Amino acid sequence: MPTKVICNRPKLLVWDIDGTLLANKGVGKRSMSEAFERCFGIANAFETVDLAGAVDTDVFEACFEANGIDRTRMPTFLGVFYETLEARWDNREATLLPGVVDALAWSSECGYTNVIGTGNMRQSAQMKLRKFGLERWFVGGGYADDCAHRPTVVKTAIEKGALAAKRTFQTEDIWIIGDTPWDIAAGVQNRCKTVAVATGGFSAEQLSNYSPDVLLETLEQLPAMLAKM
């Protein structure tokens, strides 16, 4: 790990969760399908859904519409989904990705502000972080509850970070960290710097096609990269 750096200009790091901090190994999709079947008797409802870069509110609403389920039943589904997801997380069906704890600890010691920018619902995102003891590194974030549009989720995360830090961050000091092209696109649309990490469903070669500012194999490389910025 690089020597501690005191930032001349504080930086804001916006972190995705699945595929970036955690390897969920399909836990989310299995939990969605199980909850949907328990609620509505329809099996494998999310089997063909690609969750990479998706926003949960969009995914849920599309599935409800495709199966003719009234949206007024969404709260019931969400309650069962959160219960199912937590049970699977307790069984450790997901794992922490390499370098995550060191990167978060180092960035906090350097004076960076860490926030979440995820397509997960707030409750499921906070549960995931809590299960791995990561919640202490974050001061807030943007979630699917805030908006079904990922760039707006990231914008919300930036606003929450600025509020927590009691300062306005310049766009060149805001880094969006994620494992999909949609994370890169959200950063670009918010005129921020982007870090793509090849620990999710996309290879480094695939991610390079979307021109992130920085491309990493794992988050183990992140402290050394940030120390140069």
CATH code of residue 138: 3.40.50.1000
- β-pair partners for 13: 114, 175
Task: Give the chain's mean pLDDT.
Answer: 92
pLDDT of residue 4: 54
Write the DSSP symbol of residue 217. S
Distance of CA 218 to the CA centre of its chain: 15
Residues 112 and 190 in one domain: yes
Residues 161 and 220 in one domain: yes
The mean per-residue pLDDT over the stretch 76-99 comes to 88
Is position 5 within any domain?
A: no
Q: How many helices (H) and strands (E) does the chain have?
A: 9, 8
Residues 164 and 85 in one domain: no
With cut-offs at 50, 70 and 90, classify the pLDDT of residue 104. Answer: very high
pLDDT of 167 over the 70 cut = yes
Is position 109 within any domain?
A: yes
Q: To the nearest whole percent, how much of the chain has pLDDT over 70?
A: 96
Task: Report the C-alpha gap between 215 and 220 in whole angstroms.
Answer: 12
- β-pair partners for 113: 12
Is position 3 within any domain?
A: no
pLDDT of 165 over the 60 cut = yes
pLDDT of 71 over the 70 cut = yes
Domain that holds residue 19: 12-23+96-227
Q: Are 141 and 41 in contact (CB under 8 A)?
A: no
Residue with tokens 């949960």: 56
Please count the structural domains in the chain: 2
Q: What are the b/e assignments for 1-19, b being 16+ CB within 10 Å?
A: eeeebeeeeebbbbbbbbb
Is position 7 within any domain?
A: no
Q: What are the angstrom distances between the C-alpha of 25 and each of 22, 86, 95, 134, 204? A: 9, 14, 8, 19, 19
Backbone angles phi, psi at 53, to 5 degrees: 75, 0
pLDDT of residue 54: 84
Residues 79 and 105 in one domain: no
pLDDT of 2 over the 70 cut = no
Q: Greater confidence, 160 or 27? A: 160
Residues 50 and 84 in one domain: yes
Is position 199 within any domain?
A: yes
Residues 123 and 60 in one domain: no
Report residue 55 as tokens: 């926003």
pLDDT digits (tens, 9 = 90+) for 169-197: 999 999 999 999 999 999 999 999 999 99
Q: Greater confidence, 9 or 115? A: 115
